[in-house]
């Protein structure tokens, strides 16, 4: 038992008081965990674009004051009643979408959309009692997607915590708590490009480049895709340049990166992107540009922008007969997807995914092991690091499209 178990903890948190206003470092009170909840000490967190959308609240429902943050790594401080599979000292990654292990989704091999703990961006309180565990002088501060990692301590439902190898460096594997696992899963579990496939990626931030990185490794492989044992070897990391070279020799793998920010293109080459399209450079819709480049369309496309126009283009740019498009970006509240039904009749498939279809508790510990076995490279995605007191800089980097992930160090 830690000495703080059962007590209110006072600690620093970066509070968003209002939409789009810089976060303010405050002393908050963090209540002890209730039934099926866990209180953890966050060591490292990073910024994902989903935090930024809800903080800007331009196309999303505003809920303030709120503590954002959902990509992080931490250590269990204390556990509430009924928590049996975690104990103080365990290393965990919090995940914005949970796994109760009991519902029909958790029991299905095909779904990670847990009935109880699936992502809910409108809820700012804990499920147990409908209240927040954070307060400042008695005023409740809302949670965000059940994680709120921009705080030295936070309270999370046990179903939203993946217990990981304590030897894994949290300053690196924290990026597996959202963006990079999402890109990995969107590629391997959902888009499933086959050897020789062409892939279009819309949005070359961390999520899109994770898709590129894992696509090229998969495409370059000599293993048959259907073989499950071989599948594990597919992501065995050689090096991206070796993988790209392998793909070139195999005569495969066109990876077309689409972004409105041309500054992304240089960096994207290091992640296997072979061709670039900036929609601003063309008068016609980007789906037509891609169809011309690829003799009718790409085999797979993955959208990682959050822009409704990019989502529609990503669907319409896949080849008829077999093309599959996967939506990953988080849309605005009032967006609607408009396309001609003939696209479906022409046998194009549209899919979407949260967290790359991974179940956080069951699947993420082994994704972390892939990093430990040098089958995944995470360092390439980490371009900045700031102390917690300078968390607003991480927002500036993302808003200016500079770099990929910025790690926020809670201590020192
Ligand atoms: N589904 C999930 O589980 C999940 C998980 C993590 C992130 N996301 C979402 O994925 C998206 C990417 O996240 P990120 O952290 O990599 O963001 P990011 O800001 O680092 O990257 C997004 C990129 O998209 C580009 N872009 C924006 N609009 C575009 C358009 N219309 N056409 C082409 N490019 C465009 C931007 O220039 C930027 O380079 C966000 O929408 C985020 O909310 C979803
Ligand atoms: Zn995220
Ligand atoms: Zn469930």
Same-domain status, 123 and 204 = no
Q: Name the residue with the closest Cα to ligand 1, atom 25.
A: 203
Same-domain status, 200 and 166 = no
Does any ligand 1 atom lie closer than 6 A to the CB of residue 203? yes
Does any ligand 1 atom lie closer than 6 A to the CB of residue 217? no
103, 236, 349, 369: the catalytic one is: 103
Same-domain status, 344 and 403 = no
Residue that is written with structure tokens 């809910």 in the block: 120
Residue that is written with structure tokens 């296997």 in the block: 272
Is 363 a domain residue? no
Domain of residue 276 covers 180-355
Of the listed ranges 87-91, 190-194, 240-244, the least confidently predicted one is: 240-244
> Which of 360, 311, 335 minimizes the C-alpha distance to 119?
360
26, 37, 39, 50: the catalytic one is: 50
Q: To test the ligand 1 pocket, which listed residue (45, 47, 49, 383) has its Cβ within 8 A of the most ligand atoms?
A: 49
Does any ligand 1 atom lie closer than 6 A to the CB of residue 48? yes
Assess whether pLDDT exceeds 90 at residue 312.
Answer: yes
How remote is the CA of residue 179 from the centroid of ligand 2, in Å? Answer: 5
Same-domain status, 215 and 96 = no
Same-domain status, 149 and 188 = no
Considering 138-142, 252-256, 270-274, the range whose residues carry the highest mean pLDDT is 138-142
Same-domain status, 71 and 195 = no
Same-domain status, 10 and 110 = yes
CA atoms within 13 A on the CB side of 71: 27
Does any ligand 1 atom lie closer than 6 A to the CB of residue 98? no
Categorize the per-residue pLDDT at 195 as very low, low, confident or very high, splitting at 50, 70 and 90.
Answer: confident
- 333 touches 60 (CB < 8 A): yes
- The per-residue pLDDT for 120 is 97
- 15 touches 28 (CB < 8 A): yes
Is 297 a domain residue? yes
Q: To test the ligand 1 pocket, which listed residue (118, 305, 317, 382) has its Cβ within 8 A of the most ligand atoms?
A: 305
Is 369 a domain residue? no
Average pLDDT over residues 377-394: 96
- The per-residue pLDDT for 242 is 53
Does any ligand 1 atom lie closer than 6 A to the CB of residue 261? yes
Is 368 a domain residue? no
How remote is the CA of residue 285 from the centroid of ligand 1, in Å? Answer: 19
With residues binned 3-state (H G I as helix, E B as strand, rest as coil), the percentages for the chain, rounded to 5, are 30, 25, 45
SS3 78: strand
Assess whether pLDDT exceeds 50 at residue 228.
Answer: no
Q: Which atom of ligand 1 is nearest to the CA of 328?
A: 1
Same-domain status, 277 and 156 = no
Assess whether pLDDT exceeds 50 at residue 397.
Answer: yes
Q: What is the CATH number of the domain that holds 264?
A: 3.40.50.720
Look at the chain and report how many structural domains it folds into: 2
Categorize the per-residue pLDDT at 244 as very low, low, confident or very high, splitting at 50, 70 and 90.
Answer: low
Is 362 a domain residue? no
Of the listed ranges 63-77, 101-115, 210-224, 250-264, the least confidently predicted one is: 210-224
Token couple for 412:
């020192």
Q: Which atom of ligand 1 is nearest to the CA of 261?
A: 37
Is 366 a domain residue? no
Same-domain status, 300 and 341 = yes
Is 304 annotated in the active site? no
Same-domain status, 146 and 210 = no
How far is Cα 85 from Cα 364, in angstroms, rounded to an integer? 15
Is 347 a domain residue? yes
Same-domain status, 308 and 184 = yes
Same-domain status, 19 and 142 = yes
Of the listed ranges 21-30, 84-93, 237-246, the least confidently predicted one is: 237-246
Does any ligand 1 atom lie closer than 6 A to the CB of residue 305? yes
Is 373 a domain residue? no
49, 105, 264, 319: the catalytic one is: 49
Assess whether pLDDT exceeds 80 at residue 197.
Answer: yes
Token couple for 88:
């103080």
Assess whether pLDDT exceeds 90 at residue 376.
Answer: no
Cα radius of gyration rounded to whole Å, the chain: 21
Does any ligand 1 atom lie closer than 6 A to the CB of residue 183? no
How far is Cα 292 from Cα 395, in angstroms, rounded to an integer? 37
Categorize the per-residue pLDDT at 287 as very low, low, confident or very high, splitting at 50, 70 and 90.
Answer: very high
Q: What is the CATH number of the domain that holds 72?
A: 3.90.180.10
SS3 361: helix
């Amino acid at each position: 038992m830690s000495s703080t178990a059962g007590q209110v903890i006072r600690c620093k948190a970066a509070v968003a008081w209002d939409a789009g206003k810089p976060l303010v470092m405050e002393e908050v009170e963090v209540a002890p965990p209730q039934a099926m909840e866990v209180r953890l000490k966050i060591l490292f967190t990073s910024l994902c674009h989903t935090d930024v959308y809800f903080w800007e609240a331009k196309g999303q429902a505003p809920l303030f004051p709120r503590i954002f943050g959902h990509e992080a790594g931490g250590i269990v401080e204390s556990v509430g009643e009924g928590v049996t599979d975690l104990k103080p000292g365990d290393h965990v990654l919090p995940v914005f979408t949970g796994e109760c292990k009991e519902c029909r989704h958790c029991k299905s091999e095909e779904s990670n959309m847990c009935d109880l703990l699936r992502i809910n961006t409108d809820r700012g309180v804990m499920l147990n009692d409908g209240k927040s565990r954070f307060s400042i002088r008695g005023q409740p501060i809302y949670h965000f997607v059940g994680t709120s990692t921009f705080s030295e301590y936070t309270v999370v439902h046990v179903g939203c915590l993946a217990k990981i190898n304590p030897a894994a460096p949290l300053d690196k594997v924290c990026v597996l708590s959202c963006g990079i696992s999402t890109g990995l899963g969107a590629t391997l579990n959902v888009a499933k490009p086959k050897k020789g496939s062409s892939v279009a990626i819309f949005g070359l931030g961390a999520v899109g480049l994770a898709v590129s990185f894992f696509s090229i490794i998969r495409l370059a492989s000599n293993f048959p895709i259907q073989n499950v044992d071989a599948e594990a070897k597919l992501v065995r990391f050689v090096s991206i340049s070796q993988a790209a070279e392998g793909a070139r020799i195999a005569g495969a793998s066109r990876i077309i990166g689409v972004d409105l920010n041309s500054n992304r293109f240089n960096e994207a080459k290091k992640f296997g992107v072979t061709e670039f399209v900036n929609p601003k450079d063309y008068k016609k819709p980007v789906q037509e540009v891609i169809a011309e480049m690829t003799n009718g369309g790409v085999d797979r496309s993955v959208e990682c922008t959050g822009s409704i126009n990019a989502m529609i283009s990503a669907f319409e740019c896949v080849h008829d007969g077999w093309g599959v498009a996967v939506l990953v970006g988080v849309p605005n509240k009032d967006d609607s997807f408009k396309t001609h039904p003939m696209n479906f009749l022409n046998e194009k498939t549209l899919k979407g995914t949260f967290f790359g279809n991974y179940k956080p508790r069951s699947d993420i510990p082994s994704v972390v092991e892939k990093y430990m076995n040098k089958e995944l490279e995470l360092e390439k995605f980490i371009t900045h690091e700031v102390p917690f007191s300078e968390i607003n800089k991480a927002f500036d980097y993302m808003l200016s499209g500079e770099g990929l992930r910025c790690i926020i160090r809670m201590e020192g």
